[in-house]
Chain A
């Protein structure tokens, strides 16, 4: 479904040049969930933005649903792949009602029966019709993230790109949103790419994952390997130890994995 080969992303020129993503290669079969794991600055979100078409400064090969993608995407592409952002407070227009937020993509793509579609998608993400005319400031963080998921789904895409979709939420709300994503995936046969720094979330959601550090994929592994606590790369092992909680002795063994990866 998604093939990425030798993806490189470079920002800036001269002294400010940042090679944010280096020779990243992976493939995601249809219906799978692929995790991209890393700490801040690892380039995981940059990969996602290149895939989504938000960032045109990439080189390499991106093939989605059998079609090689160019830097500029056409309208049809956006019906194929949609994105959910990390910050539920920043991803909804503060002056638009839920109704208007969901109406916009339908208007752009000329879908019929907008009212029916809006009510249906709101139901699917677990928000009743009473939420339809609310403004974002009248919603909690979890409800906002559901609206963001609804907005991504209303064009009936086959791929969802999830950029840390639950890291800004309380754990109880995180559980609800993860459950929602799992259910939608089953119902609609979606393919996910999930970017996260949280190995537990990735372990719970994904089939395969790639661990990134300083723009490089240091290791690609099946989730089963992670669950058996058998990652090969020391960086992955360190992330795994860190995700298990505070352990004074373990912290002393932490290394600083530099740009060489």
Chain B
């Protein structure tokens, strides 16, 4: 990578990124990313979604600094207070500051979402690309297994798994991940089937490439973008299932400030102290919306079928 730094200064970063004849691998990759960013940026709703997600991440990282109180500190004298300067979102039935709990809850939400994505997406990708590329009985076996998982409603299967594994946030994550991968496998397989017979795969076969190399470095990268889109769009659903499990007492256990569990706790006082359940509900709503908008924007940029990068 010979001195891109000087070039940057002399011809400007933008021109360097948009150059039609990049001089190094890094410049080519950065230029491509920049073009994708330009396309993404022109979609205002997507940028709005991205800022919600970024805000969530920042809140989660800096939760102890942002939150005015310890999320678990109980001050029974101050139970069920309405919004005030001291407690911007009021307090719950144990006198805990709801604002601080919602902020700390973002950590749990992010934790669940990231772990589910990290577990489910690679499983789906591996199963789908393998089934799609090999075809024949490999495809049949893998896809029937996928079908078995798809035959149950997601939440019901997750419930069954959690009741078998025992309640708790880790088990909830495992249960959600196990119920989330089958759609990814289907997407990856469908993509693989269209890619498998294209000339560029034939070409790399004719260079003597083995199956692992073809799947890993030629097919997987083309499936990832649609998978990223799908995973992002699914994030909202994952948050809702996690909240649902929390609500039913099968997810995060008290006193963890998980949003679903907070709603569950607040439902006893919903008629008189509505904010106790509503504030975490609004948080779930905003974050789900953010992920959905982001996913739509990413689809416009990444999905090869809807144009984008041609």
Chain A positions near chain B (C-beta within 8 angstroms) = 52-54, 75, 77-79, 82-83, 85-87, 90-95, 97, 99-100, 104-105, 108-109, 130-131, 133-135, 137-138, 148, 151, 155
Contact among B28, B199, B203, B204 for A135, CB-based, below 8 A: B28
Q: Given A54-B202, A93-B200, A137-B310, A99–B25 Cβ distance below 8 Å?
A: yes
A52 touches B25 (CB 8 A): no
B218 touches A93 (CB 8 A): yes
A133 touches B24 (CB 8 A): yes
Q: What A residues does B304 contact at CB under 8 A?
A: 94
Q: What A residues does B140 contact at CB under 8 A?
A: none
Q: What B residues does A53 contact at CB under 8 A?
A: 206
B21 touches A130 (CB 8 A): yes
Q: What A residues does B27 contact at CB under 8 A?
A: 133
Beyond the given A85-B199, A105-B207, A130-B21, please list 6 additional residue pairs across the A-B interface where CB-CB is below 8 A: A90-B199, A91-B200, A91-B202, A94-B304, A97-B25, A134-B22
Q: Given A97-B28, A134-B21, A91–B208 Cβ distance below 8 Å?
A: no
Q: Kindly state whether residue B44 has any CB partner on chain A within 8 Å.
A: no
In angstroms, Cα B152 to Cα A119, docked, is 56
Q: What A residues does B211 contact at CB under 8 A?
A: none
B22 touches A78 (CB 8 A): no
Q: Shortest Cβ distance from A119 into chain B, in angstroms? A: 13
A92 touches B200 (CB 8 A): yes
B2-33 toward A: CB 8 Å interface, digit per residue (1/0)?
00000000000000000011111101100010
Q: Shortest Cβ distance from A89 into chain B, in angstroms? A: 9
Q: Kindly state whether residue B269 has any CB partner on chain A within 8 Å.
A: no
Q: Kindly state whether residue B41 has any CB partner on chain A within 8 Å.
A: no
Q: What B residues does A109 contact at CB under 8 A?
A: 207-208
B203 touches A91 (CB 8 A): yes
Interface residues of B in 176-222 (CB under 8 A from A): 198-200, 202-209, 213, 217-218, 221-222
A148 touches B203 (CB 8 A): yes
The B contact surface, by secondary structure, is helix
> 5 A-B Cβ contacts within 8 A?
A93-B200, A93-B222, A94-B309, A97-B28, A105-B208
Q: What B residues does A94 contact at CB under 8 A?
A: 200, 222, 304, 309-310
Q: What B residues does A82 contact at CB under 8 A?
A: 206-207
Quick one: which of A77, A93, A94, A97 has the most chain B CB within 10 A? A93
In angstroms, Cα B207 to Cα A77, docked, is 9
In angstroms, Cα B310 to Cα A109, docked, is 31
In angstroms, Cα B27 to Cα A135, docked, is 11
Q: What B residues does A95 contact at CB under 8 A?
A: 221-222
A87 touches B205 (CB 8 A): no
Closest to A138 in B: B20
Contact among A77, A99, A131, A151 for B203, CB-based, below 8 A: A151
Closest to A105 in B: B207
Q: What A residues does B222 contact at CB under 8 A?
A: 93-95
Q: Shortest Cβ distance from B185 into chain A, in angstroms? A: 21
Q: Shortest Cβ distance from B208 into chain A, in angstroms? A: 4
Contact among A54, A133, A138 for B206, CB-based, below 8 A: A54
In angstroms, Cα B200 to Cα A182, docked, is 24
B22-63 toward A: CB 8 Å interface, digit per residue (1/0)?
111101100010000000000000000000000000000000
Query: 7 nearest interchain CB pairs?
Result: A91-B199, A105-B207, A78-B208, A130-B21, A133-B28, A133-B22, A85-B199
In angstroms, Cα B27 to Cα A138, docked, is 14
B208 touches A75 (CB 8 A): yes
Q: Given A95-B222, A97-B28, A108-B208, A134–B20 Cβ distance below 8 Å?
A: yes
Q: Shortest Cβ distance from A242 into chain B, in angstroms? A: 28
Q: What B residues does A151 contact at CB under 8 A?
A: 203, 207
Closest to B210 in A: A108
In angstroms, Cα B204 to Cα A54, docked, is 11
In angstroms, Cα B191 to Cα A95, docked, is 15
B207 touches A135 (CB 8 A): no
Q: What A residues does B200 contact at CB under 8 A?
A: 90-94
In angstroms, Cα B101 to Cα A172, docked, is 70
A134 touches B28 (CB 8 A): yes
Q: What B residues does A54 contact at CB under 8 A?
A: 202, 205-206
Quick one: which of B27, B206, B221, B304 has the most chain A CB within 10 A? B206
Interface residues of B in 135-152 (CB under 8 A from A): none
Quick one: which of B22, B27, B28, B203 has the most chain A CB within 10 A? B203
Q: Shortest Cβ distance from A244 into chain B, in angstroms? A: 31
Closest to A137 in B: B310
In angstroms, Cα B32 to Cα A138, docked, is 11
In angstroms, Cα B23 to Cα A94, docked, is 19
Q: What B residues does A131 contact at CB under 8 A?
A: 21
Q: What B residues does A97 contact at CB under 8 A?
A: 25, 28
Closest to B24 in A: A133
Quick one: which of A78, A86, A94 has the most chain B CB within 10 A? A94
